[in-house]
A and B are shown apart, each in its own frame.
Chain A
Amino acid sequence: MRNWRTAVIPPAMEPVIFFVAFGIGFGGYIEDLDYRGVAINYATYVSAGLIAYTGFGTPYYEALYAAYVRMFYQKTWDGILATQVELPSVVWGEILWGAVRGMVNISIVSAVIAVFDLLGVVEVKVQFLVFMPFLGFVAGCAFASFALIFTAIVPAIDHMNYPVFLIGWPLSLVSNTFFPIEPQSQALWALMQLNPVYQLAECARGLLVLGNPGPHLIGLLGATALFLVPCTLLSVRLTRRRVLGD
């Protein structure tokens, strides 16, 4: 807890900066968008996207970098595994910790959105902001378990660039976070439904704009389960090989 400022403030400020830059700066040049029959300004559109971006990025990067440091450099995992705690519990600990960090950062982003709503920059149903951290927690478990696969296999911390730039960035951008995507192909549309970042963005947007998540709450739970179960099983298997040498 001694390092809470360093741990919380910079990561939480990132989406705020994005919000100001894209939502307010860039949004000034964009006309209103039609969201399920309701006209919304771009800043309002992006506010839900930032919740999804934060809900994805925080647990994903936490489970990539911070978990790698704990596992490889600090040997924290070795210390814990020398007790009665077994590897699946350590992996679950990392998943839940990443999701909790996501919750904390989404809470900060939600507070910022509430302030912008008061200022009239965005128009959201503020009372639904209270649900955002919980949605983020659910999806965050999936993102952290996904990231731990890379944590288990990268040869060195420099190789994190691959999951960050080739997977993390594209995944967070093609998910209706900063701009809407309407795929023409059925296959791409189906693939998009399986993406928890997309489901989180749409679920948050549905709640904040309409007060109704529509089918995306079920979509979020389904996509999370589809990610979480295989990714957790795989990350336990891969970290067992890496950490225990078995």
Chain B
Amino acid sequence: MTTAILAATGLTKSYGNRVVVDHIDLSCRRGTVLGLLGPNGAGKTTTLRMLYGFIPPDDGSIYYAGKRFSENRAEAKRLIGVCTQDDSLDYDFTVAQNLLIYASYFRPRVDDLKARVADLLDGFELAPYANASPHVLSGGFIRRLLIARSIVHQPRVLFLDEPTTGLDPSARLDVWELIDRMRAEGLAIVLTTHYMDEAERLSDELLVIHEGRDVAHGEPHHVIDTVLGDHVIIVPRGEPARDEIATWLQARGAEQVATVLGELRVPVSKEDLVELTARFTDATWQVRPPNLDDLFIALARRNGRFE
């Protein structure tokens, strides 16, 4: 196993009496994507802001390439690229100038910057717009430019904060391709997203945060199994035995009984599914493998945000 280029241990942050991030450990290796997941208010953004140095942790340590961030701040910041969710492009400059000027903020300077910018413009299909204002770009191409800008200085770790929010399906797929390509080129990527299919497809590892704490981490399937179990049953709105099934499952310890548009969605174990089938012979339901949507709904329900 390759050594982690980013490692954080015991990250903790409080605002007043409220603990927003509570002893989070994480790591990300070269050529992998770490998906950071959690409902709104879970502590993802605060974790990210600590990782890229916007705010200091109250407790815990962050290491980049084995060196402590707090003691090698400038050197560590040279290793990281940040693509925030907001559009922070400078619209007074052209597309190419946005890359050139952003690169000028880094020391040591980027070798052969003009060639680097030309490569990025080609690789991100931005070359036709190189001398145009970013105003002419579509949402998908603005996102491409933001990502290109965040790697113009050739970082080793890239933070992508909800990179596809607000994009149409085609533009989303294009961004997925870019992320996959950057991973293949050896970047360590930390990704936050609200799209569960995105996290599931792109992430090599997931870290699920809930109320500031690590509730599950590991490979996507492992995380789903840890939090949800083997299957999810979906009992349709019109099923007469729907409430009875819910009561029966709750009596057997099912904590994550969610209702979505009248459908009952419950994660169940193999054993429970066998018993359920035997007990409710006339009822109809669907069975499918759990996915990250179920995980998200379950976490949000625990937090009282989803009923």
A residues apposed to B, CB below 8 Å: 1-3, 74-76, 78-85, 244-246
Contacts and interface: CB of A to CB of B under 8 A. Distances in A.
A8 B224 CA distance: 59
B54 A245 contact: yes
B55 A245 contact: yes
Interface stretch (B87-95, B192-200, B238-246): B87-95
Nearest to A243: B54
B92 A3 contact: yes
Contact of A244 (B54, B74, B86, B149): B54
Given A75-B86, A75-B87, A244-B49, A81 B92 contact: no
Nearest to A75: B88
Interface stretch (B102-110, B229-237, B272-280): B102-110
B52 interface: yes
A3 B91 CA distance: 11
Main secondary structure of the interface of A (DSSP, over half): loop
A244 B46 CA distance: 10
B74 A76 contact: no
Contacts, number: 51
Given A2-B92, A82-B52, A82-B81, 20 more contacts: A74-B90, A74-B91, A75-B84, A75-B86, A75-B88, A76-B90, A78-B88, A79-B102, A80-B105, A82-B88, A83-B77, A83-B105, A83-B106, A84-B106, A244-B49, A244-B54, A244-B55, A245-B55, A246-B55, A246-B56
Max count, chain B CB within 10 A of own CB: residue among A79, A84, A246:
A79
Max count, chain B CB within 10 A of own CB: residue among A1, A3, A246:
A246
B78 interface: yes
B150 interface: yes
A79 to B, nearest CB: 3
Given A82-B82, A83-B106, A246 B77 contact: no
B62 to A, nearest CB: 15
21 contacts: A75-B84, A75-B87, A76-B88, A76-B90, A78-B88, A79-B88, A81-B54, A82-B81, A82-B88, A83-B105, A83-B106, A84-B74, A84-B77, A84-B78, A84-B106, A84-B107, A244-B54, A245-B46, A245-B49, A246-B54, A246-B56
Interface of B: 46, 49, 52, 54-56, 74, 77-78, 81-82, 84, 86-92, 102, 105-107, 149-150, 153
Contacts of A79: 84, 88-90, 102, 149
B142 to A, nearest CB: 13
A128 to B, nearest CB: 35
A78 B86 contact: yes
A76 B147 CA distance: 15
Contacts of B91: 74
A245 B56 CA distance: 10
A1 B133 CA distance: 13
Contact of A82 (B84, B87, B89): B84
A124 to B, nearest CB: 36
Contacts of B88: 74-76, 78-79, 82
Contact of B150 (A1, A81, A82, A84): A82
A240 to B, nearest CB: 9
Nearest to A2: B92
Contacts of A81: 54
Nearest to B94: A2
A163 to B, nearest CB: 25
A82 B105 CA distance: 10
A14 to B, nearest CB: 23
A75 B89 CA distance: 8
Given A75-B84, A76-B90, A84 B55 contact: no
Contacts of A78: 84, 86, 88
A62 B51 CA distance: 33
The 7 closest A-B pairs by CB, nearest first: A79-B88, A82-B82, A83-B105, A75-B88, A246-B55, A75-B86, A84-B77
